[in-house]
Amino acid sequence: MGTVEAHGLRKAFGDVQALDGVDLDVPDGSFFVVLGPSGAGKTTTLRAIAGLEKLDGGSVHLDGRDATDDTPAARDLAMVFQSYALYPRQTAYDNIASPLRARKASASDIAAAVEQVATLLHIERLLKRRPAQMSGGEMQRVALARALVRRPRAFLMDEPLTNLDLKLRVEMRTELTRIHRALGGTFLYVTNDQVEALSMADHVAVLKDGRVQQVGTPADVYERPANQWVAGFVGSPRISLLACRAEGDRLVGAQGWSLPRPRWTTAEDGRPLLLGLRAEDVSVERRGDVALAGEVYALEPLGDRTVVDVKVGSELVKVKARPHVTGTPGDRVSVTVDLDRAHIFDAGTGLALSTAGR
């Protein structure tokens, strides 16, 4: 059992409104990722749920019970800090044992639990070392072990992989998914890395400026972004947004192009819109009737693929292509568009227009 609900969390630091009414509903046993750029209020949200931050408003419910005024200890949560926050004077064993000692477990229970979690995380050989004698990756695992040694209501993780190098980060992503599957339990995980969010989460909440922009599965967030900002933040290369408006059964671009209007767009004629095209939903290699005319602006070979920047009028469209695609800047190209996968946003509010039925 371990649900976490946050309602209308508000917190200001001086003039900065870090949390501006954050609502989260973390179901039992889920791997829930809060995704957002730095400064979005992710860490503050997590610290508020942990009871480390005094809130200006809002409430935190754990397992359905109001825990807003509970001490961190009483909330029965475990947390992995971005800085790891391992006690420097203590060995890895003592660090991992700390939550159990604080809760007055017996020495034999502690030894058994530490051994078990050390095996799970492959850190048996580190147990006698102090943090100063460990690498970043090793400290990270010990910090994780200190959280996982207990069965708390939920595990809170504050960008635990951010300080690792790329290779370790990729490794630990898989590892964390494995651990979540092995242990069960509720994971509330905060990150600014969309790859982490999309690859590990079963639920994603996208946070910006202390407000939740969208909550859904990774597929929801990627394929049905609720607004222009989420569409731009999630996905790499970044989604291309082209100014346009609806005119009858056509979408007419500000740059002079014209495409058939998708059936599902509900906008009235003339309203300023943005056409969002993900790099994989457009092509310079396929031929099709629905296409934009442009010229090659730049090629970014990325090994497994090449991203072609195509200039359509004065706007850029990023196009994912095969690794060995050829072209030189200035070449005329036709960008085939898969309109069924396109996104249309209101240019004024940034909100996605009805995407029902997709």
Partner 1 sequence: MAITIDEAVPGPATDDAPPARRRGGRGRMVVEVLLLTALAVAMLFPVLWMLETSIKENRDVYAVPAKFFGFDLTLDHYKDVFVARGGGRSDLSGSFLNSVVVAGASTVLATVLGVPAAWAYSRFTLKAKKDQLFFILSTRFMPPVVVVIPIFLMYRTLGLIDTKLGLVLIYAAFNVPFTIWMMKGFVDEVPAEYEDAAMLDGYTRLQAFWRVTLPLLVPGIAATAVFALIFSWNEFVFAVFLTSSQEVRTAPPAIAGLIGGTTVDWGLVAASAVVFAVPVLVFAYLVRKHLVAGVTLGAVRR
The answer to whether 352 contacts partner 1 (rule: CB under 8 A) is: no
Residue 11 as a binder of partner 1 (CB under 8 A): the answer is no
Residues 24-53 that bind partner 1 (CB under 8 A): 47, 50-52
Rounded to a whole number of angstroms, the minimum distance from the CB of residue 90 to partner 1 is 9
Q: Considering the rule CB under 8 A, would residue 79 count as an interface residue with partner 1?
A: yes
Minimum gap (Å) between residue 102 Cβ and partner 1: 3
How large is the angle between the packed helices 136-148 and 92-102, nearest 10 degrees?
Answer: 20
By the rule CB under 8 A, 88 interacts with partner 1: yes
Min dist CB 66 to partner 1, Å, is: 19
Is 108 a binding residue for partner 1 by CB under 8 A? The answer is no
**What DSSP character marks residue 352?**
B
Span of 84-92, 187-195, 222-230, 348-356 interacting with partner 1 by CB under 8 A: 84-92
Neighbours of 249 (CB within 10 A): 9
Distance CA 312, CA 257 (A): 8
* Piece in contact with partner 1 (CB under 8 A), picked from 98-106, 176-184, 303-311, 320-328: 98-106
Residue with smaller CB distance to partner 1, 54 or 167: 54
Report d(CA 80, CA 175) in Å as an integer: 15
Is residue 139 packed enough to be buried (19+ CB in 10 Å), middle (13-18) or exposed (0-12)?
buried
Q: How far is CA 5 from CA 143, 215, 217, in A?
A: 25, 13, 17
Contacts of 201 (CB under 8 A, 6+ apart): 31, 32, 33, 189, 217, 218
Q: Which stretch binds partner 1 (CB under 8 A): 85-93, 116-124, 261-269, 343-351?
A: 85-93
Angle CA 86–184–150, to nearest 5: 35
Q: Which of 103, 100, 125, 104 is nearest to 114 (CA)?
A: 100
Residue with token string 């397992």: 63
- What residues from 130 to 159 belong to the interface with partner 1 (CB under 8 A)? 146
How many binding residues for partner 1 (CB under 8 A)? Answer: 23
- Min. distance of Cβ 157 from partner 1 in angstroms? 12
Least distance from C-beta 87 to partner 1, angstroms?
Answer: 6
Among 77, 172, 176, 333, binds partner 1 (CB under 8 A): 77
Nearer to partner 1 (CB atom), residue 102 or residue 182: 102
Rounded distance, CA 92 to CA 287, Å? 60
Residues that bind partner 1 (CB under 8 A): 47, 50-52, 71-73, 77-79, 81, 83, 85-89, 98-99, 101-103, 146
